[in-house]
């Protein structure tokens, strides 16, 4: 029995293999993205679905599936293991009997990013990395700041100028050095970061450029499959910025299928805002690579307003095509409606998170999602991250009263 079954990295581009003990970001030979590989035959031999009972409910319940080698290096605040809530409102509206919400808004810093940063910061600690850099639209920055500070890692966080002031303040609150980043397109950011890797060797935490962050998102597959008694849902619906969530989840389900623990795979759905949406645009055109498209400033869905995905969004598009899923865009109006629907579920979601439910609505309308399909929407971030959007979604009640029984009685009648 091993604590982790990770073996090595393989480059997406040139298939070169690398040791995990080197603090690598992208492939030193070709600049391609690195992917962690595991000894699946050994896992099949040693592990079984019943063995996780009684362990922590955090994402570290599944440590055999992550690239960290030693338990002592874990930096954790109890992330993962979030509730999988059956729908009580939206399902009825849409005629769906099995609609669920994986509520990652309940994470330590209020977004799903905590899964990735618990792993990536732990892994950096194991490698002896003492400083790191990331770019963020807000949530990743908060998460990186919080975990880096706890680990004693010196973090620099570039926050895009479109992020709301609260998100920027949160990063400062968690104790990181932060700077506001101005740009025309995501392409410029990716080039800048890739050059920083080559020229400075500065370890980076941006999804995919950091080769382990998205590994933590495999936890969706384990947690959800376990909750459904080792069955995969029919659909997994993910808001997509860089796409670490959808790619990680897809990889996790693939591992479980290879181990023989689940007998089917979910169809993966990628959602982006109408104002940008390079992934859905490529999908509509049948392409495996997405170009730059849209205006990141023209939507309330800040966290997923990327106009140019990293390395053409190939991983995200692979997950969508290979699973038989789809990619779609949703408008701000549809997002605001989905926020109101989620409110009736007891869930406060930021606009980017609500986009998943808006996409389900489209999928039902278009006849892609059937009434008895099992559908899981990932709620990636709390509505409290973007309070102005909640105020936009619902008007303040005009009702008022003085503290007197007569006025209360009048109000209630
Ligand atoms: Zn390579």
pLDDT digits (tens, 9 = 90+) for 209-236: 999 999 999 999 999 999 999 999 999 9
Residue 155 is predicted with a pLDDT of 94
37 Cα to the center of ligand 1, angstroms: 15
List the domains of the chain with CATH numbers: 84-110+213-393 (3.40.50.1100)
135 Cα to the center of ligand 1, angstroms: 23
Please state at what angle helix 113-127 crosses helix 139-151, rounded to 10 degrees: 40
Residue 162 is predicted with a pLDDT of 87
Cβ partners under 8 Å of residue 26, min gap 6: 32, 33, 34, 194, 197, 209, 211
* Residue 87, SS3 per DSSP: coil
Would you give the distance in Å from CA 375 to the centre of its chain?
Answer: 17
Residue 200 is predicted with a pLDDT of 87
235 Cα to the center of ligand 1, angstroms: 32
Question: In the predicted model, what is the mean pLDDT of the chain?
Answer: 96
Cβ partners under 8 Å of residue 162, min gap 6: 137, 296, 297, 302, 305
Say how many residues make up the chain: 413
Is the model's pLDDT at 194 over the cut of 90? no
What are the φ and ψ backbone dihedral angles of 373, each rounded to 5 degrees? Answer: -70, 145
381 Cα to the center of ligand 1, angstroms: 33
The two structure tokens encoding residue 214? 């998205």
The pLDDT confidence band at residue 306, using thresholds 50, 70 and 90, is confident
pLDDT digits (tens, 9 = 90+) for 86-134: 999 999 999 999 999 999 999 999 999 999 999 999 999 999 999 999 9
187 Cα to the center of ligand 1, angstroms: 20
Residue 324 is predicted with a pLDDT of 98
Residues near ion ligand 1 (CB < 5 Å) are 11, 13-14, 16, 27, 29-30, 32
The two structure tokens encoding residue 118? 């618990």
Percent of the chain residues topping a pLDDT of 70: 100
Residue 186 is predicted with a pLDDT of 85
Instruction: Please spell the DSSP secondary structure of 310-376, one letter per residue.
Output: GGGGHHHHHHHHHHT-EEEEE-HHHHHHHHHHHHHTT--B-HHHHHHHHHHHHHHHTT-S-TT-EEE
Would you give the distance in Å from CA 90 to the centre of its chain?
Answer: 22
CA neighbours closer than 13 Å in the CB half-sphere of residue 42: 12
The pLDDT confidence band at residue 141, using thresholds 50, 70 and 90, is very high
23 Cα to the center of ligand 1, angstroms: 15
15 Cα to the center of ligand 1, angstroms: 6
Residue 201 is predicted with a pLDDT of 83
Residue 395 is predicted with a pLDDT of 93
Is the model's pLDDT at 377 over the cut of 90? yes
């Amino acid at each position: 029995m091993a604590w982790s079954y990770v073996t090595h990295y393989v480059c997406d581009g040139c298939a070169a293999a690398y040791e995990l003990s080197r603090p690598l970001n992208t492939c030193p030979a070709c600049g391609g993205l690195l992917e962690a590989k595991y000894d699946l035959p050994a896992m099949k031999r040693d592990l079984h679905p019943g063995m996780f009972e009684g362990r922590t409910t955090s994402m570290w319940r599944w440590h055999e599936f992550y690239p960290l080698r030693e338990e002592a290096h874990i930096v954790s605040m109890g992330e993962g293991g979030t509730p999988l809530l059956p729908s009580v409102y939206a399902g009825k509206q849409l005629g769906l009997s099995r609609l669920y919400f994986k509520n990652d808004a309940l994470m330590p810093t209020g977004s799903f990013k905590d899964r990735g940063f618990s792993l990536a910061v732990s892994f950096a600690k194991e490698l002896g990395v003492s400083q790191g850099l990331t770019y963020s639209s807000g949530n990743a920055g908060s998460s990186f700041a919080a975990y880096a500070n706890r680990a004693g890692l010196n973090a620099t966080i570039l926050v895009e100028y479109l992020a709301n002031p609260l998100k920027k303040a949160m990063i400062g609150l968690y104790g990181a050095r932060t700077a506001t980043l101005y740009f025309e397109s995501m392409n410029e950011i990716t080039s800048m970061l890739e050059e920083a890797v080559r020229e400075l060797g500065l370890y980076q935490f941006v999804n995919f450029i950091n080769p382990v962050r998205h590994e933590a998102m495999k936890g969706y597959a384990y947690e959800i499959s376990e909750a459904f008694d080792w069955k995969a849902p029919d659909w997994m619906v993910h808001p997509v910025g860089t796409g670490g969530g959808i790619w990680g989840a897809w990889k996790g389900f693939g591992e479980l299928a290879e181990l023989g623990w689940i007998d089917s795979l979910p169809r993966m759905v990628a959602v982006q805002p109408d104002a940008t949406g390079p992934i859905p645009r490529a999908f509509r055109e049948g392409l495996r690579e997405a170009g730059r498209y849209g205006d990141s400033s023209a939507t309330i869905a800040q966290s997923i307003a990327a106009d140019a995905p990293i390395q053409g969004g190939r991983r995200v598009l692979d997950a969508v095509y290979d699973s038989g899923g789809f990619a779609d865009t949703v408008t701000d109006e549809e997002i605001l409606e989905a926020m109101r629907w989620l409110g009736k579920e007891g869930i406060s979601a930021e606009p980017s998170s609500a986009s998943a439910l808006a996409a389900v609505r489209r999928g039902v309308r278009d006849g892609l999602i059937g009434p008895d399909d099992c559908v899981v929407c990932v709620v990636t971030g709390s509505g409290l991250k973007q309070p102005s959007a909640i105020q936009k979604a619902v008007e303040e009640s005009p009702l008022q009263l003085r503290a007197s029984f007569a006025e209360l009685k009048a109000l209630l009648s």
